[in-house]
Amino acid sequence: MKTVSPLRQRLPFASLLVPVAGGIVFSQLFQPALAFVATVAALSLLLFGISCVRWTESMRGWWFSLFLAAAVAVVHLVQSTQSPAAIFAHWLGDHRVPAVAEGTVVTEPSVFSPRSARFEFRLDSLTMGDARLAAPITIQVRWRGAAPQYGDRLRISGQLSNITPPRNPGQFDAAAWSQRKNIRQVIEVLQPGTAELLDRNQGNPLVRLSISIREWMISAITYSVDDPEVSNLLAGMILGDTADISQSIQEAFRATGTYHLFSVSGLHVGIMAIILWYALKTLRLPRKITAALIIPLLFFYVLMTGLKAASIRAAVMGSIILIGLMAERRPVLFNNLCAAAFLILLTDTNQLFNAGFQLSFGVVASILLLSAIFERRLEEPLAPDPFIPHKLLSPARRFGLRTTQFFAGLTAVSLAAWLGSFPLTAGYFHLVSFSALPANLIAVPLSFGIMCLTALSVCSFLVSPWLAGIFNQTNWLLTKALLVSVQTFSHLPASHVFLPPLHRPEQVVIFDAGAGGAACIQSQGRTWIIDCGPQYFTDSVIVPYLRSQGVRRLDGLIITHGDANHMGGAENLILATQPRLVLDSGTSQQSPTRKKLLASLETRGIAPVLVRAGHCEDISPAASLEILYPPAVPPKAVADNLAIVALLTLDGRRILLASDIGSLAETWLLENARERLACDILVQGTSHAGRTTPPDFLEAASPCIVIATAADFPETERIPGRWAEQLARQGITLIRQDETGAVVLTLSDGKLTAKGFLNHATWHLPQ
């Protein structure tokens, strides 16, 4: 039978989806006046009514599409600009005010440590000074102390502000992501124990039930599995919980295009629907009753896994198919996909800009449009003569034909999914995985087996934990096989590449790491990192930035000293980027963070190069780095006096990277390297004694610009007014990172430009 292309079938929901998506995009890009769009919606509705009486069907369709687009644009504009959260955000502005909030925890807290968590909080009231407001909005809470539970009603004291945009390139834009959920404010609890528990179990009973069942399921599927790595992988694959999966394993799954196994999506929901179908059919239930029972069970599974866009799409699409079976209608899958997208966008227009939504629908659309074509092309060379009856084929030939059809179908779906995800993964994640196709050919069947065994384990756990343990041990074997295959593919040459930007200028990025420090030097395709901040900063800023620049491997890493705020993430950075050279001052012998790093380097066979004053490195033909400090014998073994001071020369321009050295180190430099201190830009941190740069040091360096790290906490990280006045008196421009965020230094045609990432302020240095 000839397959009809999805685009040649009747697709009523596609004709509805196009104007809906168009209206949302138009209102987002151009932000038209709400009154104007509402007027267009009203007029188009009127003209549609007139066309129903007097005009042709095509005219009715055009006017209805315009009405639908304008109406959805109105909804999106109201959600974006007129919601209570948006109005309150406009009123709050850049202020950070003390506040007391009463409300309910409406999401499971994301726990980062035993004393740190984050969750969403639906307000009942908000008190700021003498003002007490009824605030029917949801905010984010950054929590200190033991995390509360879903449904707890709390009174929280902390600092209230709007969620700030990212301060560094490469950093995830939490503000934009939260605004898509209409969450614009955050209250930060500064001290543990400043919140009061008012009541428990105030959340949605269905959500509480799903959380309890999920916790029980995790205990069931990991029973008798003593391997934490496998247990965490199972929790991630079955329930989408990736919190405990190591960064290296997640990196391997991303590199091979198999990370979708951790996103509860169409694959998971489809497998769950198949398992439920056959399980209910064993009870000899009629088809219509079976379909009717599966629909709520699918949505409950989606609820347990966090209501992700991909799982909602799959559940809606699966429900439409099942409803079609109940009505004895043959499903048109592409139309069902459009129906799922249409219904989701009607409930939340911001989903259109969600990367998960785009990936989910883009990949499934590609599979529906292309997989049948690819499958026919793959089957044709090995297909039998169509004039020979199938019964006349030998058993071996029929088995070979079934095997060919299975792998042709799997290959076609994987190839179509790869093509559908390619533009989005390249745009969002700067990644192209060439191993995705073969890796998925192995990973998808293994994941199907894992989910089937998980279903057996969960059911048997109700009766016999011993029997569940047998299934779990088999699952352990399959999960290990999956992990080994993914890691093998990820380590193959050219397994994946990170796409660089079209133009990479000569630049130095001085990251805003708060009380820590980090910088990136990029010159003629070479990339060096000087310090990397604490661990969370490395994982959330440094590594994503390097990926966005197409950097898979660092040319060099410099660890200035053992302060955890400067090198706490070095181990993760080395694991992710495998630098060709690691430079270390060899000081800070008492630093626990540095000791841990050295032990990790030793296990990997990496020997850091110990450097002292006078050591030079050629970063590129246009850039060189000279170590000015510490000397062979530092003046005193105090942390402030052990940090590396380096002079970067970039096409003749000099940038002095002074880290957070103290007065003894500055004195030594004045006495022993005064002539090497002259620079165009001085990058300076804060010593433990505070920020006090001697006037003669500034005179010797004579910078045009000082870039100063700054943070609100602790007090010593703030920029003193007297120090800022001292720089102004000497005619030195001060760039404060508490105002600018990261500072990007760009060299083009001999001109050096400094630009603040957060406030977009620009400074030009004279030639």
CA trace torsion 88, 92, 97, 101 (10° rounding): 0
Q: What is the DSSP letter of 184?
A: -
Q: Are strands 556-559 and 526-532 parallel, antiparallel or unpaired?
A: parallel
User: Is position 627 within any domain?
Assistant: yes
Name which of 81-90, 394-403, 497-506 the model is least confident about.
Answer: 394-403
User: Is position 496 within any domain?
Assistant: no
247 and 346 assigned to the same domain:
yes
Q: Are strands 556-559 and 582-584 parallel, antiparallel or unpaired?
A: parallel
Residue 127 sits in a domain whose CATH number is 2.40.50
37 and 169 assigned to the same domain:
no
The residue that leads in pLDDT, 399 or 655, is 655
From CA 687, how far away is CA 671, in angstroms rounded? 20
Query: What digits encode the pLDDT tens for the residues 532-582?
Result: 999 989 999 999 999 999 998 999 999 998 888 899 999 999 988 999 999
User: Is position 6 within any domain?
Assistant: no
453 and 375 assigned to the same domain:
no
Confidence of residue 3 (pLDDT cuts 50, 70, 90): low
User: Is position 126 within any domain?
Assistant: yes
pLDDT of residue 512: 95
Across 247-260, average pLDDT: 82
Which residues are bridge partners to 118 per DSSP?
Answer: 110, 142
What is the tally of structural domains in the chain? 5
Residue 675 sits in a domain whose CATH number is 3.60.15.10
Cβ atoms of 533 and 512 within 8 Å: the answer is: no
Across 727-740, average pLDDT: 92
Encoded amino acid at 691, one letter: R
Confidence of residue 1 (pLDDT cuts 50, 70, 90): very low
User: Is position 4 within any domain?
Assistant: no
Q: Beta-carbon neighbour count of residue 621 at 10 Å? A: 10
Q: Which of 203, 218, 251 is the endpoint of a domain?
A: 203
173 and 97 assigned to the same domain:
yes
612 and 564 assigned to the same domain:
yes
User: Is position 25 within any domain?
Assistant: yes
565 and 686 assigned to the same domain:
yes
Query: What digits encode the pLDDT tens for the residues 422-436?
Result: 888 888 888 888 888
Please name the helix (run of DSSP H) or strand (run of DSSP E) that holds residue 217, with its range, or none.
helix 205-221
Confidence of residue 485 (pLDDT cuts 50, 70, 90): very high
**Residue 578 contacts by C-beta under 8 Å, 6 or more apart in sequence?**
553, 554
Instruction: Please tell me whether residue 77 adopts helix, strand or coil conformation.
Output: helix
Query: What digits encode the pLDDT tens for the residues 589-612?
Result: 677 888 888 888 888 888 899 999
pLDDT of residue 163: 94
Q: Return the structure tokens found at 475.
A: 């699952």
Confidence of residue 206 (pLDDT cuts 50, 70, 90): confident
- In whole angstroms, how large is the CA radius of gyration of the chain? 30
343 and 440 assigned to the same domain:
yes
From CA 522, how far away is CA 504, in angstroms rounded? 8
123 and 235 assigned to the same domain:
no
Nearest in space to 542 (alpha carbons), one of 524, 554, 555: 554
**Residue 330 contacts by C-beta under 8 Å, 6 or more apart in sequence?**
324
Cα angle, residue 154 at apex, residues 304 and 145 outer, rounded to 5°: 80
Q: 132 is in which domain, residue-wise?
A: 92-203
Confidence of residue 365 (pLDDT cuts 50, 70, 90): confident
pLDDT of residue 228: 87
157 and 117 assigned to the same domain:
yes
- Judge whether residue 529 has pLDDT over 60: yes
Cβ atoms of 221 and 458 within 8 Å: the answer is: yes
User: At residue 254, what are phi and psi to the nearest 5 degrees?
Assistant: -65, -45
Cα angle, residue 43 at apex, residues 41 and 47 outer, rounded to 5°: 115
551 and 675 assigned to the same domain:
yes
From CA 203, how far away is CA 437, in angstroms rounded? 43
From CA 538, how far away is CA 604, in angstroms rounded? 20
Q: Which of 33, 53, 82 is the endpoint of a domain?
A: 82
User: Is position 498 within any domain?
Assistant: no
541 and 678 assigned to the same domain:
yes
Cβ atoms of 447 and 482 within 8 Å: the answer is: yes
User: At residue 468, what are phi and psi to the nearest 5 degrees?
Assistant: -60, -35
Q: Beta-carbon neighbour count of residue 310 at 10 Å? A: 26
Q: Which of 433, 448, 467 is the endpoint of a domain?
A: 433
- Judge whether residue 750 has pLDDT over 90: no
State the residue for tokens 């300076």: 684
575 and 516 assigned to the same domain:
yes
State the residue for tokens 């980027």: 577
Query: What digits encode the pLDDT tens for the residues 116-127?
Result: 899 999 999 999
From CA 306, how far away is CA 665, in angstroms rounded? 53
By CB neighbour count within 10 A (0-12 exposed, 13-18 middle, 19+ buried), where does 83 fall? Answer: middle
User: Is position 387 within any domain?
Assistant: yes
CA distances to 301, 587, 592 from 671, rounded to whole Å, are: 69, 21, 32
Q: Are strands 506-510 and 743-748 parallel, antiparallel or unpaired?
A: antiparallel
Query: What digits encode the pLDDT tens for the residues 146-188?
Result: 899 999 999 999 999 999 999 999 999 989 989 988 899 999 9
Strands (E), 87-222: 97-105, 110-113, 116-128, 131-134, 138-144, 153-162, 185-188, 195-199
CA distances to 200, 320, 417, 495, 653 from 257, rounded to whole Å, are: 42, 29, 10, 10, 42
Cα angle, residue 636 at apex, residues 631 and 638 outer, rounded to 5°: 110
In sequence order, what DSSP letters do the residues of 391-440 get, joined into one string? GGS-HHHHHHHHHHHHHHHHHHHHHHHHHHHHHHHHHHH-EEESSHHHHH
